[in-house]
């Protein structure tokens, strides 16, 4: 599920910016956008961002912060946490977001205002999103 690759630049930062390439996890049998069509309560989205270069981390964080601020104002978003892979020059970030339901996430993600903003990430950023629901494992965890 690759997206557009058009790029833009700003006067203050001449690095190329683009909509991230949304890709399905290799080997996954259910594409991400198809996952969002299932109406499920209490879902978690894990987005793995792979930047073309660790040098783009500041630009990535600037845009992630803007998107996170938008999303936290949307109905049904419960929490978010950003992680960075260990290593001084890591180019991998993982965002874990809890939503009340797939419907709430779908509404926020497909909102034209949000879609307009996601085109400003560092050019070459790949995103591997997956939508999850808790499962019960006897003696270990509950759903």
Residue 123 burial (CB count, 10 A): 20
Beta bridge partners of 57: none
Alpha-carbon dihedral angle through residues 51, 19, 98, 69, given to the nearest 10 degrees: 100
Both tokens of 119, joined, read: 């085109």
How far apart CA 127 and CA 142 sit, in angstroms, is 29
HSE-CB at 97 with a 13 A cutoff on CA atoms is 25
Please give the chain's pLDDT, 143 residues, in tens.
444 334 444 444 567 778 888 899 998 888 887 888 888 889 999 999 999 999 999 999 999 999 999 999 999 999 999 999 998 899 999 999 999 999 999 999 999 988 887 878 899 999 999 999 999 999 999 98
Q: What pLDDT is attached to residue 12?
A: 44
Q: What pLDDT is attached to residue 9?
A: 42
Q: What pLDDT is attached to residue 33?
A: 78
H or E element in which residue 94 lies: strand 92-101
């Amino acid at each position: 599920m690759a997206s557009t690759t058009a790029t833009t630049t700003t006067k203050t930062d001449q690095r190329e910016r683009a909509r991230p390439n949304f890709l399905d996890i290799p080997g996954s049998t259910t594409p991400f956008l198809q996952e969002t069509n299932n109406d499920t309560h209490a879902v978690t989205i894990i987005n793995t961002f792979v930047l073309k270069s660790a040098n783009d981390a500041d630009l990535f964080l600037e845009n992630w912060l803007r998107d996170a601020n938008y999303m936290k104002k949307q109905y049904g978003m419960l929490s978010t946490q950003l992680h960075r892979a260990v290593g001084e020059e890591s180019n991998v970030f993982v965002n874990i977001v809890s939503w009340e339901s797939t419907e709430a996430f779908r509404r926020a993600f497909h909102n034209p205002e949000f879609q307009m903003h996601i085109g400003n990430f560092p050019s070459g950023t790949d995103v591997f999103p997956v939508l999850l629901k808790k499962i019960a494992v006897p003696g270990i965890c509950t759903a």
